[in-house]
């Protein structure tokens, strides 16, 4: 699943570690989510959403199935 | 969570449990070596002494299970689970294939108690896989 985490984090001027601290996860987790290697669970997605003050669908983008 | 995954409280608890189980394994193994003679009859005492190190193996497995339960970071937990799955595939593949070899051709017999150490080697393979896959 694509996401705008890296862009949003940059807009806030946060490092991966800073965002990880806010979310209560490891920096590796933030990196894995940003690079699309890992899709977060719903509870973590909600925490990310609250962190940026945005709805989940503005952060995580549904990939359209290719026809 | 600013620290390295291996310095989390869950991992420290795991290491403490692992070391206790390891001490139990070495201690009970040495007791068995000293007290059980070669070609011992299958008496309750000797069977009990032979099974004592098994408690330590249970301890290792329990510690690994608790690690998965107690890890707070879901991504790092997923990496650990993947490692365990790779270890399981590794141990089952080698023991299964070797068992077929034993069935059809003359090869050295693989002792059953080697399956757990094989699984532990598989953990190292899983760790390497996690590294090379950029996880």
Q: Collect all residues with Cβ–Cβ distance below 8 Å to B36 and sequence separation of at least 6.
A: B46, B49, B50
What is the arithmetic mean of pLDDT over B90-98? 97
What are the φ/ψ torsions at residue B49 (nearest 5 degrees)? -65, -35
Q: Do the chains contact at A24 and B75, CB–CB below 8 Å? A: no
Of the partner residues A21, A24, A28, the one whose CB lies closest to the CB of residue B75: A28
Say yes or no for a CB contact (<8 Å) between B2 and A33.
no
Partner residue facing B75 (CB), from A17, A21, A32: A32
Mutation test of the interface with chain A: which of B1, B11, B71, B129, choosing the one with the most A Cβ atoms within 10 A? B1
Three-state DSSP class for A60? strand
The confidence band for B1, taking pLDDT boundaries of 50, 70 and 90, is: very low
What pLDDT does B3 receive?
Answer: 45
Q: Is the dihedral of CA B115, B117, B119, B121 positive or negative?
A: negative
Spans of chain A, pLDDT less than 70? 65-67
Q: What residues form DSSP beta bridges with A61?
A: A2
Phi/psi region, residue A36 (left: phi>0; alpha: psi -120 to 50; beta: rest), is left
Mutate to test the interface with A, among B71, B72, B75 (most CBs of A within 10 A): B75
- Give all domains of chain A, ordered by start, each with its CATH number: 2-59 (1.10.260.40)
What ipTM was assigned to the predicted interfaces of this complex?
0.87
**A25, B74: Cβ pair inside 8 Å?**
yes
Q: Say yes or no to pLDDT of B99 above 80.
A: yes
Q: How many CB atoms lie within 10 A of CB A25?
A: 23
B75–chain A nearest CA distance, Å: 6
Mean pLDDT of all residues in B120-131: 95
pLDDT band at B113 (very low <50, low <70, confident <90, very high): confident
Q: In chain A, how long is the greatest CA-to-CA distance? A: 40
DSSP per-residue letters across chain B: --S-GGGSHHHHHHHHHHHHHHHHHHHHHHHHHHHSPTT----HHHHHHHHHHHHHHHHHHHHHHHHHHH---HHHHHHHHHHHHHHHHHHHHHHHHHHHHHHHS------GGGHHHHHHHHHHHHHHHHHHTT-
Angle (nearest 5°) at CA A32 between A26 and A35:
145
pLDDT confidence band for B4 (50 / 70 / 90): low
Chain B residues in contact with A48 by the CB 8 A cut-off are: none
- For A55, residues 6+ apart whose C-beta sits below 8 A from its C-beta are A49
Among B2, B74, B76, beta carbon nearest to A44? B74
Within 8 A of B135 by CB-CB distance, chain A residues are: 28, 32, 37
Give yes or no for residue B83 having a pLDDT over 90.
yes
Shortest distance, CA A7 to any CA of chain B (angstroms)? 21
């Amino acid at each position: 699943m694509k996401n705008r985490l890296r862009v949003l984090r940059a807009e806030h001027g946060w490092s991966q570690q800073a965002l990880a601290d806010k979310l209560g996860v490891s920096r590796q987790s933030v990196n894995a989510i940003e690079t699309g290697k890992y899709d977060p669970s719903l509870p973590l997605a909600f925490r990310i959403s609250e962190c940026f003050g945005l709805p989940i669908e503005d952060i995580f983008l549904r990939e359209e199935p290719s026809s | 969570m600013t620290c390295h995954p291996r310095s989390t409280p869950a991992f420290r608890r795991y290491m403490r449990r692992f070391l206790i189980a390891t001490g139990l394994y070495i201690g009970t193994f040495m007791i068995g070596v000293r007290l059980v003679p070669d070609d011992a009859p299958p008496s309750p005492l000797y069977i009990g002494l032979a099974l004592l190190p098994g408690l330590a193996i249970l301890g290792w497995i329990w510690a690994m299970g608790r690690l998965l339960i107690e890890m707070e970071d879901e991504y790092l937990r997923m990496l650990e689970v993947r490692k365990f799955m790779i270890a399981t595939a590794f141990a089952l593949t080698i023991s299964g294939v070797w068992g077929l070899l034993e069935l059809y051709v003359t090869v050295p017999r693989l002792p059953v108690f080697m399956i757990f150490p094989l699984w532990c080697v598989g953990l190292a393979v899983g760790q390497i896989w996690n590294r090379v896959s950029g996880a």
